[in-house]
Structure 1
């Protein structure tokens, strides 16, 4: 192995329910505006033709139960409760059956967002990186293997801040379903184990401040929590 000028960061790992080994995170893809009510509250049209994507750095992975310092450069830091899926087998230009078979597990996730920076970039037609690709902003609960969940759709997805419910919907409200997302994304990438896909958030997103406690859940999956700490 070639010597490196500085230590290589460890690969983040998400625990898997009932498994001795965890799931290593290599890439994180995120689906935007995948609930009609959320698109409406963001003041944009719903795109039902195909999903669209942004990415987060794998090193921004954070485990459920952690404390995330309020990030720099923002005065409007938002929560977004999401269903995440992870890929368990290589797949490229997948059929629906191949896409479904490639999904290894599901989990509850939070896409934490510097909303003011995202909206400023959107208004100028610029990428969302500073708004979305935020340190510690990809928060994951323990994963549950797909065969233990069954069909995705009837499950409730919800989030509360300091015990007050802010988001409450069903996974059946997803515009683009999980297998459909994998089919579409696999047109552009050779998906493989290590790839995590966050499928979008329902309506009800909003800001948090230092000291807030975020809790969320999806029926049949491990719950998720996050404490917002003070700015560093």
Structure 2
């Protein structure tokens, strides 16, 4: 099947499976990993546990299944503090090509692996992805990140927060007023289109965003119905 290269927000893809780039030390603090941490809290908890047990490493892939979407966690770094390496991408992609059919993956959307926080040039990441993924018998999309692309989840979060109001949102979440006011200002800023971008606003921390996001989106263990399959070994 043809491989598509798109510019936009990977979360708008209609593919069965999305690829989430991760490190091996249990940190999802920025970019697509942060978005996945917020959207799939049970997956994040399992990921942290796996990293603490040193079960996740370069070349090992972990497939998480939610009701709405499958997420393939793809290590592109050993530690979030260190850069990605081309060899890390190749080891993971080799494993994917060898195992995707057995895992039941029928369509998949990749970001440019290692090209955001990992330091690999976009054109290099794109070329490596094409080398391994072109010609596969499933639909494959490669997303070049667009920070201005709209996101329905962000829109829902923003609308809930603005309609709820700062007083009630503070009461429901336990967040202090200065942080809530900063969050209100952030979601009202037309330059901010995605949840992860709120961390660029002064006075907004990850804990604030995570707590209010889960409240707004009603994210909890009972509604998430997590599922996963073993590492691709």
TM-score of Structure 1 vs Structure 2, range by shorter chain: under 0.3
Q: TM-score, normalised by structure 1?
A: 0.28
Q: TM-score, normalised by structure 2?
A: 0.28
Q: Compare CA radii of gyration and give the structure with the larger one.
A: 2
